[in-house]
């Protein structure tokens, strides 16, 4: 029996047999062609691309049925990439200049793109390599023929294990046969991880060398909550995990009963629980779990879903849909939190040396004002339909915020002149995600309407740790004393100006960190829909006084290990029911 720890990206526990997917990229030989054959090869290229686009249209249609229109937009991004004139032109150029077959040119160009992404230090790039590989494989299948993937011919229920899975593979397999996923590569933000969560399939990624350890038929335990895979477990371990999963199902049902109950501590203090979403379809779960609204609507997929910039009307239609579904509950929209790497082709040809510290988020928006204005106009128009807040990400200086605020006021004037309604008092806030913003919180508090602490990036930039990198994932710990002190100081600065503070990072869904946030003075927690029940139960099981004493003691320790051990020990003793196997890091 061997236990391997990776990154849990889709919750649940499964015991089953491994199916090791060996999809080695076939080698395409370099075959020369006569000059008079160039046009024939180019026609073959276009035929193969057209056929691949048709394939993807069918996959997208099926994905809409299985997991909703918004999540299926991943494949719109793929379709847009195949239709991109720069991409097609590069392949045609190789055919003409080098006098080679269409399949070699496709393999060569897609390989170059994959190598560029793979070589970039930011995991946001490296996790997209499998998307490029997926597209190349589709085109090559129509050019030279490929055997159909063995995933299409599964006879029994299996746990699919692979070096890496493409999103279309994840959507395309028989969901009645695939019980869980485990991959050597990948991170929380990869398309495959998002698809796995949307399909409710337990998944663990970032396992490094799991494939090399396995053959078909080996018994595995997949624990998507803890991010653990156990190879060839003994009977006692299997029985224990099966019992945990059965108990987990019971707990999920019982926790739904909390949905209609208020989120109030045992000593009467209200803690608002809101939802983090990426797609409008997720609002149904948010409402079912009894959230107070949406504390973070990520808008990145509006840009990733297509190869062209989304129009103002595309933005507006999505925001309107969210507002209608919320039925009067507030919607907090984060402006685009991507860089040139995700919204244009130019960055692929001219990559930044360190994109995590480069032109991204508000920096990118302020250098691309027409694009930024489209989103701001759409958000303001939507604000006339229901309660909307606008949130600026990755602000590192007061100057950036003032620039953004000035632009927003300009857009307001334009809308007023055009007679287009909007909420002139729409709250405008910033995300506290970098240490400079946390240290200048008192300055920001004089000018903003609210703060939202983005723990994902705040931990990453404070500790210099990429949370999606499986090699250093153990160093990513939001309970590090440095992070706790920054949170404490932000809350203190906000209170002096009566500025509301929420936390919307993934870590807010962890019961231990949530207890510390509450104790440090955060009164609104925005978490993923699946984490809502366990966080609401935590709030209703503990007093504010206890949380404050817990945080005061925790912040006095020297290391994150001491903090984690202390908080876990105290919570396990005082509210053991909070450690039932539900939600991130439970158990």
Residue 179, domain CATH: 3.50.30.10
Residue 147: predicted pLDDT: 38
User: Pseudo-torsion of CA 459, 465, 469, 472, nearest 10°?
Assistant: -120
Last residue of a domain, one of 107, 125, 144: 144
Given 211, 322, 504, 547, which residue is catalytic? 504
Domain annotation covers residue 198:
yes
Put the strands of the sheet holding 2-5 in their side by side order: 2-5, 228-231, 219-223, 13-21, 158-162, 178-183, 203-205, 7-10
Verify that 16 and 46 share a domain, yes or no.
Answer: no
Whole-structure pTM value:
0.68
DSSP strands (E only) in 262-301: 272-277, 294-297
Distance CA 380, CA 390 (A): 9
Last residue of a domain, one of 182, 209, 233: 233
Contact call for residues 14 and 221 (beta carbons, < 8 A) = yes
Verify that 96 and 191 share a domain, yes or no.
Answer: no
10: number of Cβ within 10 Å = 25
Domain annotation covers residue 48:
yes
Verify that 58 and 122 share a domain, yes or no.
Answer: yes
> Tens-of-pLDDT digits for all 587 residues of the chain?
899 988 888 888 999 999 887 654 456 778 788 899 899 899 999 999 999 898 888 888 877 776 666 666 667 767 877 887 877 888 999 999 999 989 889 988 888 877 776 666 555 555 567 777 778 888 888 887 643 345 656 678 899 998 877 655 665 667 678 899 999 887 765 666 766 776 678 999 988 888 888 877 889 999 998 899 999 999 999 999 888 877 776 666 566 677 778 899 999 999 999 999 887 888 988 888 889 999 999 888 787 655 578 899 999 999 999 999 999 999 999 999 875 334 444 444 455 666 667 788 899 999 989 999 999 999 999 999 999 999 999 999 999 999 999 999 999 999 999 999 999 999 999 999 999 999 999 999 999 999 999 998 899 899 998 766 667 767 888 999 999 999 999 999 999 999 999 999 878 888 999 999 999 999 999 998 778 888 998 999 999 999 999 999 999 999 999 999 999 999 999 888 766 554 433 33
CA angle 231, 235, 241 (to 5 degrees): 70
Given 142, 191, 315, 374, which residue is catalytic? 191
Verify that 187 and 164 share a domain, yes or no.
Answer: yes
Domain annotation covers residue 478:
no
Last residue of a domain, one of 91, 111, 144: 144
- In the chain the first and final C-alpha atoms are separated, in Å, by 20
Number of domains the chain is built from: 2
Task: Confirm whether 504 is a catalytic residue.
Answer: yes
Verify that 118 and 177 share a domain, yes or no.
Answer: no
Q: Which pairs count as long-range contacts for 56-61, CB under 8 Å and 24+ apart, including other chains? A: 56/82, 56/138, 56/168, 59/168, 59/171, 59/172
Verify that 17 and 163 share a domain, yes or no.
Answer: yes
Verify that 154 and 138 share a domain, yes or no.
Answer: no
Say which CATH number the domain at 45 has.
1.10.274.10
DSSP string, 310-331: PPHHHHHHHHHHHHHHHTT--E
Q: What separation in angstroms does the CA of 301 have from each of 6, 70, 73, 394, 411? A: 25, 8, 8, 18, 23
Domain annotation covers residue 134:
yes
Verify that 45 and 119 share a domain, yes or no.
Answer: yes
Domain annotation covers residue 200:
yes
Verify that 178 and 133 share a domain, yes or no.
Answer: no
Task: Confirm whether 191 is a catalytic residue.
Answer: yes
Domain annotation covers residue 229:
yes
Verify that 135 and 52 share a domain, yes or no.
Answer: yes
Contact call for residues 529 and 286 (beta carbons, < 8 A) = yes
Q: Who's near 219: CB < 8 A, 6+ residues apart?
A: 15, 16, 17, 18, 231, 232, 233, 238
Verify that 140 and 160 share a domain, yes or no.
Answer: no
From the list 158, 136, 135, 138, the residue with the least C-alpha distance to 149 is 138
Verify that 157 and 223 share a domain, yes or no.
Answer: yes
Range of the domain at 129: 35-144
Query: Containing H/E element for 9?
Result: strand 7-10
Domain annotation covers residue 526:
no
Domain annotation covers residue 305:
no
Q: How many CA atoms lie within 13 A of 441 on its CB side?
A: 28
């Amino acid at each position: 029996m061997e236990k391997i720890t990776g990154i849990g990206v889709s919750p649940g526990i499964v015991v089953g047999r491994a199916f090791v997917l060996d999809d080695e990229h076939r080698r395409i030989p370099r075959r020369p062609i006569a000059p008079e054959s160039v046009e024939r090869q180019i026609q073959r290229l276009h035929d193969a691309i057209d056929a691949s686009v048709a394939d993807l249209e069918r996959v997208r249609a099926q994905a809409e049925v299985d997991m909703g229109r918004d999540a299926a937009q991943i494949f719109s991004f793929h379709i847009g990439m195949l239709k991109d004139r720069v991409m097609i032109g590069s392949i045609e150029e190789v055919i003409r200049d080098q006098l080679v077959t269409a399949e070699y040119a496709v393999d060569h160009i897609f390989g170059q793109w994959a190598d560029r992404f793979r070589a970039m230090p930011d995991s946001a790039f490296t996790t997209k390599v499998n998307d490029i590989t997926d597209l190349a494989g589709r085109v090559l299948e129509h050019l030279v023929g490929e055997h159909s993937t063995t995933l299409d011919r599964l006879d029994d229920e299996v746990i699919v294990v692979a070096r890496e899975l493409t999103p279309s593979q994840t959507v395309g397999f028989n969901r009645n046969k695939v019980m869980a996923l485990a991959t050597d590569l990948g991170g929380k933000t990869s398309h495959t991880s998002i698809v796995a969560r949307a399909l409710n399939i337990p998944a663990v990624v970032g396992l490094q060398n799991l494939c090399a350890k396995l053959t078909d038929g080996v018994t595995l335990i997949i624990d998507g909550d803890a991010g653990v895979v156990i190879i060839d477990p003994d009977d006692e371990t299997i029985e224990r995990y099966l019992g945990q999963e059965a108990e987990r199902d019971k707990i999920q049902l019982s926790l739904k009963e909390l949905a209609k109950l208020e989120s109030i501590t045992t000593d009467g203090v209200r803690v608002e629980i809101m939802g983090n979403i990426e797609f409008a379809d997720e609002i149904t779960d948010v409402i079912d779990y009894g959230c107070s609204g949406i504390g973070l609507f990520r808008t990145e997929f509006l840009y990733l879903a297509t190869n062209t910039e989304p129009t103002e009307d595309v933005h507006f239609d999505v925001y309107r849909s969210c507002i209608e579904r919320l039925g009067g509950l507030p919607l907090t929209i984060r402006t685009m939190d991507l860089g040139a790497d995700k919204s244009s082709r130019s960055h692929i040809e001219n990559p930044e040396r360190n994109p995590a510290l480069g032109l991204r988020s508000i920096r990118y928006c302020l250098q691309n004002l027409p694009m930024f204005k489209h989103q701001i106009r759409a958000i303001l128009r939507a604000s006339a339909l229901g309660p909307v807040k606008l949130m600026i990400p990755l602000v590192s200086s007061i100057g950036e915020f003032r620039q953004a605020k000035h632009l927003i006021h300009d857009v307001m004037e334009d809308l007023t002149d055009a007679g287009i309604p909007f909420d002139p008092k729409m709250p405008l806030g910033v995300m506290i995600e970098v240490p400079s913003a946390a240290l200048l919180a008192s300055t920001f508090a004089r000018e903003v309407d609210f703060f939202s602490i983005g723990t994902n990036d705040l931990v990453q930039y404070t500790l210099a740790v990429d949370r999606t990198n499986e090699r250093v994932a153990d160093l990513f710990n939001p309970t590090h004393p440095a992070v706790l002190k920054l949170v404490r100081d932000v809350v203190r600065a906000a209170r002096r100006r009566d500025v509301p503070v929420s936390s919307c990072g993934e870590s807010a869904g962890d019961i231990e960190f949530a207890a510390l946030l509450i104790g440090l003075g955060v009164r609104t927690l925005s978490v993923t829909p699946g984490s809502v029940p366990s966080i609401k139960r935590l709030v209703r099981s503990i007093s504010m006084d206890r949380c404050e004493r817990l945080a005061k003691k925790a912040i006095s320790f020297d290391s994150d290990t001491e903090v984690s051990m202390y908080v876990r020990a105290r919570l396990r003793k005082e509210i053991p029911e909070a450690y039932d196997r539900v939600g991130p890091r439970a158990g």
